[in-house]
Chain A
Amino acid sequence: MLYKKEWPLLIFLVPGLLFMMVFLYVPFLENIKNSFYNMTAVVKMPGTDWKFIGWENYKRMFTDPDVRTALINSVKMMVLTVIFEVGIAFVLAVLVSQIKRLQQLFRTVYFFPVVISATAIGLMFKLFYNYNGGMLNQILEFFGAAPVNWLSPELAFLMVCIPTLWSYIGFYFVILLTGLSDIPDDVYEAASIDGCSRFMQVFYITLPMMKPVFFTSVTLAVTGALKVFDLPWVMVPNGAPQGVTHFLGTYMYQQSFGLNDYDYGSTLAVLIVVLGIAVSRGIGYLTDDPEERKERKAKRMQKKALKTAGKGAA
């Protein structure tokens, strides 16, 4: 009754949808369109026309060696986030769930870097890595070793990954810990009565029962790895040294806002979107139970059969 009259709906929906239309959906489509044009400037000036160039930017993208570096780095980063962020977070979550005291304290401490901006963390690690008197080299000096150039072409990528991974472990830790606490105690009890050791319980109970939570964590970690920008930009701007630390995000920024090559930047943004969708679909497919998939498919077929049968009868 209350919600029969429909005109108030306009007031509820229009402001938010308008916002998303203007700043999300339309720009998103415009960006795809832009990738097929040669944009002379970001704003269309009178007299200068943007020429339609078809797949030109895409051809360029697939032969650009810097895109290859950025793509490889981004994919490596995805793999590393899954192994180290989700992996370490899971180990910590299992350990914390085994203890009785200080659980809350560990949660608070581990989560803390998540709320700190990537900019601040990047600067902090820059201080650690500094060649002249940075923290790491001071430790080396203390042990009588020669100082190391931590941001050299060979080490830079690894050194950028470390703070990126480190700062977000707490996030997955909390998610996985919540998942762990949702597993009822009696399952473990039954297992230990049957003679399953605490260690084996992790493999036979915890891991299988946590599958949906893992799925969420891995998807978030992988799509998050694609969005990395702030931290590498602060630590190693423009993919320094020699462009070896470029990620797709930083390379897109450099091309569009550093070199004002907006159409190529748009093309790179399209690549990021496509990759994001492909990867999260892929994870969904991999973690999906083949049995369940078969069952769903069977159900769909059944429904379809019923529908057509119904139609036939009518």
Chain B
Amino acid sequence: MTVGKKRKVKPGTAVIYIVLILWAVLTIFPFVWVVLNSFKPSAEVLRSSFALPSQATMMNYENAFSKLNVLKAYGYSFTISGVVTVGVMVFASLLSFGLTRYQFRGKQLVRSLIVASLMFPVFATIIPVFRMMVEWNLLSKNLAVILPQIAGNLSFATIVMTGFMQSIPIEMEEAAYMEGASVFQVFFRIVVPLCRPSLATVAIFSFLWSYNDLFVQKIMIRDPMKYPISTLLEQISSQYGTDFGLMAASVTIIVVPVMLVYIVLQKNIIKGLTAGAVKG
């Protein structure tokens, strides 16, 4: 990692540390400020938002959980993102297996179609997809968010997974075939387990992308009782925007689960979210 391994420490190093630490503070401080203020009554936030709470109160959280469907919204969000993640993992591994192990006519076409769909921003497909959901009576149902999100993540996931599957040597699969295993046994017992690292990558970006997305939720979920967390939060801000304590608590509520997962899995997450990019 270290580029300058063999150079002597210079006084410049101190400056480097100072700059880096300053930027770290700039990155983390906004979150600390919000969490801190979520334990204060709104009046105190307005007066002294930088001080520690004079008397920590859970009032804002009680407010958030009683007035708003926070728990339910979590439920919807986790259901949606969970199903999207599993769906993307299943379809992407099937697709990549087909694309890396078989020779067939039109293979190159399929590959370039998948790459081309990376250039489709969600804006370019959402209106027809919305029409389908209206026609299929799926509006305000989780499925209306899940289906387009699986499709939206699939091309990127497939590209990451084909890259990985190509690097798995084929000999083991041939050996298994000699022993009498079927193609599906080979796929489930040998290839999928070997693909665990790239499956983790795919799972992480699918989940985070889906959990954090507001656009699709906003269009598909029209019933306020069925809002997932992002849509709910947006609604809170337009309804209770002046209640600073409640706002701070709401932001904390949406950030905390992601933060906990990030602290535990940070290495995997950073790899997962940048994997496709570095490979180009």
Contacts of B124 on A, CB cut-off 8 Å? 27-28, 31, 269-270, 272-273
Question: Whole-angstrom distance from the CB of A59 to the nearest CB of chain B?
Answer: 20
Inter-chain contact B183/A5, CB cutoff 8 Å: yes
Q: Is B68 an interface residue (CB 8 A)?
A: no
Inter-chain contact B174/A13, CB cutoff 8 Å: no
Q: Is B213 an interface residue (CB 8 A)?
A: yes
Contact of B16 among A16, A95, A183 (CB under 8 A): A95
Contacts of A132 on B, CB cut-off 8 Å? 46
Contact of A112 among B17, B121, B183, B262 (CB under 8 A): B262
A13 to B7, CA, bound (A): 53
Inter-chain contact B214/A117, CB cutoff 8 Å: yes
Contacts of B45 on A, CB cut-off 8 Å? 133
Contacts of A11 on B, CB cut-off 8 Å? 94, 184
Contact of A42 among B131, B147, B148 (CB under 8 A): B131
Contacts of A123 on B, CB cut-off 8 Å? 233-234, 237, 247, 250-251
Spell out A's residues near B (CB within 8 Å): 1-3, 5-6, 8-9, 11-13, 15-17, 19-20, 22-28, 30-31, 34, 42-43, 92, 95-100, 102-103, 105-120, 123-128, 130, 132-133, 135, 138, 166, 170-171, 174-175, 178-181, 183, 185, 188-189, 192, 198, 212-213, 216-217, 220, 226-227, 229-230, 233-234, 237, 248-249, 252-253, 256-257, 262, 265-266, 268-270, 272-273, 276-277, 280
18 further contact pairs, Cβ within 8 A, besides A92-B23, A115-B208: A2-B186, A20-B114, A20-B117, A27-B124, A96-B20, A98-B4, A99-B2, A102-B20, A109-B27, A115-B269, A117-B258, A127-B37, A138-B50, A198-B7, A226-B121, A253-B219, A256-B127, A268-B123
Contacts of B131 on A, CB cut-off 8 Å? 42-43
Contacts of B212 on A, CB cut-off 8 Å? 115-119, 230
Question: Whole-angstrom distance from the CB of A54 to the nearest CB of chain B?
Answer: 19
Inter-chain contact A183/B3, CB cutoff 8 Å: yes
A185 to B97, CA, bound (A): 38
Report the count of interface residues on B (CB-CB < 8 A): 108
Contact of B254 among A120, A126, A198 (CB under 8 A): A120
The chain B residue with its CB closest to the CB of A108 is B266
Interface string of B245-276 (1 = CB under 8 A from A): 00110110011001100100010011001100
Inter-chain contact A127/B278, CB cutoff 8 Å: no
Q: Is B95 an interface residue (CB 8 A)?
A: yes
Which 8 residue pairs are nearest across A and B when measured between Cβ atoms? A12-B98, A133-B46, A23-B151, A117-B212, A27-B128, A16-B95, A27-B125, A16-B91
Q: Which of B7, B128, B148 counts the most chain A CB atoms within 10 A?
A: B128
Contact A99 to B16, CB < 8 A, known contacts A123-B251, A175-B278, A273-B121: yes
A269 to B124, CA, bound (A): 5
A198 to B11, CA, bound (A): 13
Contacts of A42 on B, CB cut-off 8 Å? 127, 130-131, 134
Contact of A2 among B183, B211, B247 (CB under 8 A): B183
Spell out B's residues near A (CB within 8 Å): 1-7, 12-13, 16-17, 19-20, 23-24, 26-28, 30-31, 33-34, 37, 45-50, 90-92, 94-95, 97-99, 101-104, 110, 113-114, 117, 119-132, 134-135, 147-148, 150-152, 154-155, 158, 173-174, 177, 183-184, 186-187, 208, 211-215, 218-219, 230, 233-234, 237-238, 241, 244, 247-248, 250-251, 254-255, 258-259, 262, 266, 269-270, 273-274, 277-278, 280
Contacts of A23 on B, CB cut-off 8 Å? 125, 129, 147-148, 150-152
A-B contact pairs, 17 of them (CB 8 A): A2-B177, A6-B104, A8-B184, A12-B98, A16-B94, A22-B151, A34-B127, A92-B23, A99-B16, A99-B20, A108-B266, A115-B262, A117-B211, A174-B274, A192-B7, A269-B123, A272-B124
A276 to B31, CA, bound (A): 33
A99 to B218, CA, bound (A): 44
Inter-chain contact B247/A127, CB cutoff 8 Å: yes
Contact A128 to B114, CB < 8 A, known contacts A111-B270, A115-B269, A175-B277: no
Inter-chain contact A276/B214, CB cutoff 8 Å: no
Contacts of A262 on B, CB cut-off 8 Å? 127
Question: Whole-angstrom distance from the CB of B52 to the nearest CB of chain A?
Answer: 15
Question: Whole-angstrom distance from the CB of B147 to the nearest CB of chain A?
Answer: 6
